[in-house]
Chain A
Amino acid sequence: MQKTFTLAAGLFLATQAVAQTPVLTVYAPDYFVSEWGPGPKIEALFEADCACDLQFKPGDLLPRVLLEGARTEADVVIGLNTDVTRRARASGLFAPHDVDLSALTLPVDWTDEVFVPFNYSHTAFVYNTERLQEAPDSFAALLEAPDDLRLIIQDPRSSVSGLALVLWMQAVFGDEAEAAWAQLAPKIVTVTRGWSEAYGLFTDGEADMVLSYTTSPAYHLIAEGDDTKKAAIFPEGHYFMVELAAKLAGTDQPDLADAFLSFILSEPFQSMIGTGNWSIPAALPQKDWPEGFQALDLPETVLFYSEAEAAALRDPAIEAWRRALSR
């Protein structure tokens, strides 16, 4: 009896202790939370001095928040892309941040009141120097390349990178985009649902080039000591891909959420995210990037549509892609 009582009291106290630790719930993309993703590192760094419990809930980001509406459990969402910011903003579910954005080192101006960028890269065609000695040195050269150059891309209707490619083509070729797609079509081996399938096929040797990011070679260089993967750099410019975080308006942990948004631009986070997420840190001067990142081939010209422009261009650009590739 005595023992039971002590046990019950102990359990009660333990629950109390847990209840006193505030929980910050962060929705993140699925790959974030594996032991190879950035999630565990972010959690360790942030929990080191927030006196809180950061819990990642991986899976769909915006669709889930929109389904849940104001009742969402999320305090913060991390890993959003620019193609959803417009809808996310319009939902009214996200709140402005109070982060000082002056530390940003992005290649584009960023003054958004709601979305805080934490890392970036650019769309690029990645190739293996052992299989393809001379990669096209411009987008025009890629279109002119013989049809036995084999490309794998992603579908703009089901993947973020595929959509970025469609906007990239639009930015480079404008009204001629559909004709450019038609010229590219014979070289496209296939179109995959997402980035993983395409990159897996590329590493298996199914194609000479794959639509990926300018930062992909950094993974091979740093993690595998392999310098044969390169991104072909085009003088016409490359489309800017950035990952964002935002605070929910209905969060019950507003202070922690603010602290988290400031934290993602802080030096410890920014020094980690390069090799943690294989992307360029959003607020870190180039000289402080991890070593392999210094060696990356990066574009001089960076192309980027505002969310309003992108929203207006998106459907016609996808339709042009579909028509040209369906012939």
Chain B
Amino acid sequence: MAARALALGAGSVLALAVLAPLGAVIWRAEGVAALRAADLAALRFTLWQALLSALASCLLAVPVARALARRRFAGRGALVALMGAPFILPVIVAILGLLAVFGQNGVLSRVSLALGGPRLDIYGLHGVVLAHVFFNLPLAVRMLLQGWLAVPAERYRLAATLRLSARARFRVLDAPVIRAVLPGAFAVIFVICLSSFAVALTLGGGPRATTVELAIYQAMRFDFDLGRAAALGLVQLSLALGAGALALWLSRGAGFGAGLDRTTPRHEPPARLDTLWIALAALFLMLPLGMVVARGLPGLMSIGADTWRAAGHSLLVALGSTLLCLAWALPLSTPRGAWAGLAAIALSPLVLGTGLFLMLRPFVNPFAWALPVTGFVNALMALPFVLRILTPEAQTIRQDFGRLRATYGLTGRAWLLNVFLPRLRRPLGFAAGLTAALAMGDLGVIALFADPDRATLPLQVYRLMGSYQMEAAAGAALLLMALSLGLFWLCDRGGRVDVGA
């Protein structure tokens, strides 16, 4: 009963956090403006690239995650941890890193030229999808991996005892995991790609790759047409919730029953292609990250006091966001909650920021509130990912141990502390790590709230670039990546101390 009230409360806060800023913008605009013909073209491209990006990320994630679940090798832990990195890079840094590898003057083009081949042409729809896969493949892999690791080891032993064929193993053991996790991962990635802007434009090679978010930016910052921005924001929100509903419907039911939490080695034969998949994924993700490191190293020397202070602010924001986000997510970790959570990233950051500004402005000084607002928005933005990660396992725990709880008549507190949280610690650690890392990297909405003395690290990267300090900016970006990864690793590690994963 209390749990339901808590879920309802957390859900209401979420709805309020999304709808109130949108409402504030519509109210200020005195209505919603009609869309233009160019907006419809942008909408078509936005949908198409988001669909392709989410499909590619999810399909590629299956063999990679399967291989990582089956294989044990030196550096596997590090590889899995590094998978958090692409996701958290500031957009501008990720673009430079990607193009340093795939661009016309990138590593691959230079190799190709040296071998007498042509320059690589990355710019176009394929470039947009490639960049989005770079950001989101690791996320999908981690979600699937989490799903496979949650399958009790007993089931694998049983499958080995029964000498199931590869096909039967897939049907009995793998397919249910994929079905439980992938639709949700697809929905989250689809929605995050819906609000892509700078990446889509740059990798897309020009105005052919215009997204709805760019139109919102133009309306907000250039035309000051809040009515049009609000209309576009509404379109984005409905698309996202539609995609979420579809995912919710697709991912019904799955379950292996409870196991004994054995860490005995799994009895399953590694497939021949596993090594290839892992190597390809590692190369694809590590090359651009390597370029970010290589570009940043010379700049590390020129990191000034401002940048260190910004790093401190970012750490502070990250910790606050993580606590807030987890407290928010736990009561919502049901399929329906995870669906509602999508709304948090479905709303354009620009609309959200402007709405919050309009709401807070009559009561407080927005500048003084720069860091708390950033922390709150980051928690909100991370919520859908955290829910996606927590929900499948939280549901399983409720199903598998609900009888135990009823038999012993456990109090809510005893259930939470002795059963629910301990069993949830692995996804909880991953979720905390992701939130912390996301909150380090997110620039999001603070353009309206910026304060000279309270810059966060991503903002500092932009400021340095704006003053021709490309090298110092690359150094600051490397610092950002290192700190984010450190946080991610700490939390993630904390969640799976005694698990051989």
CB distance from A216 to the nearest CB of B (A): 8
Whether a CB of chain B sits under 8 angstroms from the CB of A281 is no
Whether a CB of chain B sits under 8 angstroms from the CB of A179 is no
Q: Are A158 and B214 in contact (CB under 8 A)?
A: yes
Residues A63 and B220 in contact in the complex (CB < 8 Å), given A34-B460, A189-B104, A206-B104: yes
Residues of B close to A33: CB separation below 8 A: 452, 455, 463
Q: Are B201 and A223 in contact (CB under 8 A)?
A: no
Whether a CB of chain A sits under 8 angstroms from the CB of B253 is no
Q: Are B206 and A191 in contact (CB under 8 A)?
A: yes
Contact string against B for A residues 255-296, beta-carbon threshold 8 Å, 1 for contact and 0 otherwise: 000000000000000000000001000000000000000000
Residues A62 and B450 in contact in the complex (CB < 8 Å), given A67-B354, A204-B96: no
Q: Are B470 and A199 in contact (CB under 8 A)?
A: yes
Choose among A71, A155, A188, A199 the residue with the greatest number of B CB atoms under 10 Å from its CB. A155
Whether a CB of chain B sits under 8 angstroms from the CB of A56 is yes
Bound together, the chains give a CA A67 to CA B104 distance in angstroms of 42
Q: Are B206 and A190 in contact (CB under 8 A)?
A: yes
Of the residues B305, B306, B367, contact of A57 by C-beta under 8 Å: B367
Q: Are A189 and B214 in contact (CB under 8 A)?
A: no
Residues of B close to A163: CB separation below 8 A: 222
Q: Are B462 and A196 in contact (CB under 8 A)?
A: yes
Size of interface on B: residues with Cβ below 8 Å to A: 61
CB distance from B189 to the nearest CB of A (A): 22
Q: Are A326 and B468 in contact (CB under 8 A)?
A: no
CB distance from B302 to the nearest CB of A (A): 10
Which chain A residue has the least Cβ–Cβ distance from B110? A205
Q: Are B221 and A158 in contact (CB under 8 A)?
A: yes
Whether a CB of chain A sits under 8 angstroms from the CB of B304 is yes
Residues of B close to A191: CB separation below 8 A: 201-202, 205-207
Q: Are A196 and B459 in contact (CB under 8 A)?
A: no
Which chain A residue has the least Cβ–Cβ distance from B95? A197
Which chain B residue has the least Cβ–Cβ distance from A55? B452
Residues of B close to A57: CB separation below 8 A: 367, 450-452
Q: Are B224 and A325 in contact (CB under 8 A)?
A: no
Whether a CB of chain A sits under 8 angstroms from the CB of B276 is no
Of the residues B123, B197, B217, B469, contact of A36 by C-beta under 8 Å: B469
Residues of B close to A158: CB separation below 8 A: 201, 214, 217-218, 221-222
Q: Are B38 and A196 in contact (CB under 8 A)?
A: no
Whether a CB of chain A sits under 8 angstroms from the CB of B357 is yes
Whether a CB of chain A sits under 8 angstroms from the CB of B92 is yes
Which chain A residue has the least Cβ–Cβ distance from B463? A34
Residues A64 and B462 in contact in the complex (CB < 8 Å), given A191-B201, A193-B202, A199-B470: no
Q: Are B207 and A325 in contact (CB under 8 A)?
A: yes
Whether a CB of chain A sits under 8 angstroms from the CB of B358 is yes
Whether a CB of chain B sits under 8 angstroms from the CB of A60 is yes
Q: Are B448 and A322 in contact (CB under 8 A)?
A: no
Q: Are A206 and B448 in contact (CB under 8 A)?
A: no
CB distance from A67 to the nearest CB of B (A): 6
Residues of A close to B106: CB separation below 8 A: 206
Which chain A residue has the least Cβ–Cβ distance from B365? A73
Whether a CB of chain B sits under 8 angstroms from the CB of A39 is yes
Whether a CB of chain B sits under 8 angstroms from the CB of A240 is no
Interface residues of A in 276-327 (CB under 8 A from B): 278, 321-322, 325-326
Q: Are B28 and A67 in contact (CB under 8 A)?
A: yes
Bound together, the chains give a CA A266 to CA B340 distance in angstroms of 57
Choose among A55, A73, A190, A199 the residue with the greatest number of B CB atoms under 10 Å from its CB. A190
Residues of A close to B217: CB separation below 8 A: 157-158, 193
Q: Are B104 and A150 in contact (CB under 8 A)?
A: yes
Whether a CB of chain B sits under 8 angstroms from the CB of A183 is no
Q: Are B221 and A36 in contact (CB under 8 A)?
A: no
Which chain A residue has the least Cβ–Cβ distance from B453? A33
Residues of B close to A67: CB separation below 8 A: 28, 354, 357-358, 361, 448
Whether a CB of chain B sits under 8 angstroms from the CB of A125 is no
Choose among A34, A66, A205 the residue with the greatest number of B CB atoms under 10 Å from its CB. A34
Of the residues B203, B214, B450, B467, contact of A157 by C-beta under 8 Å: B214
13 more contacts with CB within 8 A, not counting A66-B224, A200-B470, are A30-B459, A30-B466, A31-B463, A34-B306, A34-B455, A67-B357, A189-B123, A190-B201, A206-B106, A219-B468, A223-B468, A322-B38, A325-B206
- 10 A-B pairs closest in CB distance: A31-B466, A36-B467, A196-B465, A59-B450, A34-B463, A33-B452, A193-B198, A205-B105, A157-B218, A191-B206
5 contacts between A and B (CB under 8 A): A30-B450, A157-B217, A190-B204, A193-B197, A206-B103
